[in-house]
Structure 1
Amino acid sequence: MTITAKYCNNCNYILHADKNHCASCFSDDLETKELKGLGEVYSYTKIHAAPKDYADIAPYYIVLIDLDEGLRITGRYIGESVEINQKVKVDNVDKNAYIFKALEE
């Protein structure tokens, strides 16, 4: 599965797909590109007291992922445990959230 992002054609800055102007140079000359969805865990937290909509899956992990292409995004992690610098890949998108799992090496 891939992730959509935008690249600034003026300064090559990478942005989240929902942005309309570059945060670096303020250009609106953006191009949509597909990212591989591969990266590593920068940080994480385990949610035990979940909001009502997610109570049925608690406890679960929220992860901050540094994608290989340079974008840092937040998502949910599927698995029993997670570690900093662990290699992951996007597995699915659920309720507008990226779902990551460990990358089998």
Structure 2
Amino acid sequence: MSEPSYPLWRHFPEPALLASRDLDSGELIFPALSADSPLAPRHETVPLAGVGEVYSFTVIHPSPRSGEAPYALGCVDLPGPVRLFGRLCGKPRPAIGDRYAARPDERFGYVFEAVRA
């Protein structure tokens, strides 16, 4: 996998997705803007809280010929506020309001893993 021109994650002290916050309005943009973006001077790069709640989801049922098992995709509301779309892992079927944590993923950049109560 090739490295993006700007980082998606901050890995220390704990992994956190990176966003850009508008210095005037506080609005968050995900993913973070690259340093060479004309908008960069008006934004700061900030880590996003890693745990949020499922807002909406769907379960995808790939063709049996693909060999892939069904999987869930959904929108997760993180504090900030920011709503992200991604793969939901760790439960066969998520529910609205379930808590999920963002984690790095080689294939997709990030996925959401169910948080056990």
Same fold (TM over 0.5): yes
Query: Aligned pair 1:89/2:115, yes or no?
Result: no
What displacement does 1:73 show?
Answer: 0.5
Query: Would you say the 8 A contact 2:73–2:88 is kept in 1?
Result: yes
Q: Distance in 1 between matches of 2:69 and 2:16?
A: 26
- What residue number does 2:19 align with? 5
Alignment of 1:15-54 (within 5 A): 15-19=29-33, 20=37, 29-49=42-62
Deviations 1:48-100 (A, max 9, x none): 126x9xx4443100011111221101010112120001111113323334211
Instruction: State the SS of the aligned residue for 1:36.
Output: coil
Unpaired runs of 5+ residues, structure 1, are: none
CA RMSD of aligned residues (A): 2.4
Query: Would you say the 8 A contact 1:76–1:97 is kept in 2?
Result: no
Deviations 1:1-28 (A, max 9, x none): 3111110001111111254577xxxx95
Of residues 67, 80, 90 in structure 1, which corresponds to 2:92? Answer: 80
**Count of paired positions:** 98
Of residues 50, 71, 84 in structure 1, which corresponds to 2:82? Answer: 71
Name whichever structure is richer in strand by fraction: 1
Q: Distance in 1 between matches of 2:22 and 2:78?
A: 17
Q: Distance in 2 between matches of 1:104 and 1:94?
A: 23
Q: Distance in 2 between matches of 1:21 and 1:13?
A: 17
